[in-house]
Amino acid sequence: MSAPEISFEFSAPRDDAARDKVLTVRDKLSTLDPEFFSVTYGAGGSTRDGTLQTVLALAESGTSTAPHLSFGGDDDGFIRELLSQYQSAGIRRIVALRGDVPSGTGPGSHIYADELVTFIRQETGDHFHIEVAAYPEVHPDSTSPNSDLAYFKQKVDAGADSAITQYFYNADAYFHYVDTVTALGVDIPIVPGIMPITNVDTLLRFSDKCGADIPRWISQHLMQYRDDKASLQSFTTDLVTSLCARLLEGGAPGLHFYTLNQSLPTLRIFRQLST
């Protein structure tokens, strides 16, 4: 069995100071020998300039980088130009997402991620390794679990090479999801998305928006420790480390960390995983 692949996600910085911080965090996390770093795109490409500049800065320093990309409100020509820039910079991986259209703007001619995967393949052939999103606990906009599974298979059939899941804290949800899509004929690697916990209110807000379930026993502990930084750090590090260990022991092909542009929470988890 091959060694699990580790990757890290950055939120696209909106100014030079934030971009410098991302590069500093990259240096610290690079000690863990990740497969790649990804950089988010924002609703409708709302952080597209920060994404592009950060991706190019990472690539110039030899870091394997995967920009997130979505159609959002952009037309084919704009996305085609971005793909050309990424190719010229030596980028070989794209995270293709549906994304969100910014409020007050109308969608372009394309919306869904399977359309983006098809477009990338038509424009660039096999140049890019294409990652897509997977939702073990069902996408919040899906009408049913079955429709969500069917749509995931559409993305795979369109040409996706692998998938990264929404974060979760119930390993059984991941294993059930992998078993279910495998039965549907999906055979690409599905990498669990991991969210270290640093702020209770932020986690609850994110989870409510994206449909990630926080088991009651976890939420009760989080509320108990929300004003006790040391206890919160100890509990959440142990919690996420145990989740990672179980996922890897159960055969997950790797781990993708949503870093929120911080290094310490992830480094703590890795220190515990290695002991």
Judged by average pLDDT, the poorest of 47-61, 112-126, 137-151 is 47-61
Q: What's the mean pLDDT in 192-207? A: 95
Report residue 217 as tokens: 């026993």
**Which residue among the candidates 9, 81, 123, 137 is catalytic per the annotation?**
9
Angle separating helix axes 216-225 and 200-210, nearest 10 degrees: 150
Please tell me the pTM assigned to this model.
Answer: 0.93
Q: Which domains does the chain have, with CATH numbers?
A: 5-273 (3.20.20.220)
**137 an active-site residue?**
no
Return the pLDDT at 1: 52
Residue that wins the pLDDT comparison between 224 and 49: 224
d(CA 101, CA 83): 20
The full DSSP string for 42-95 is -GGGTTHHHHHHHHHHHHHTT--EEEEE--TT--HHHHHHHHHHHHHTT--EEE
d(CA 223, CA 47): 32
Return the pLDDT at 100: 58
Question: What stretches of 72-212 adopt beta strand conformation (E)?
Answer: 93-96, 129-134, 162-167, 190-194
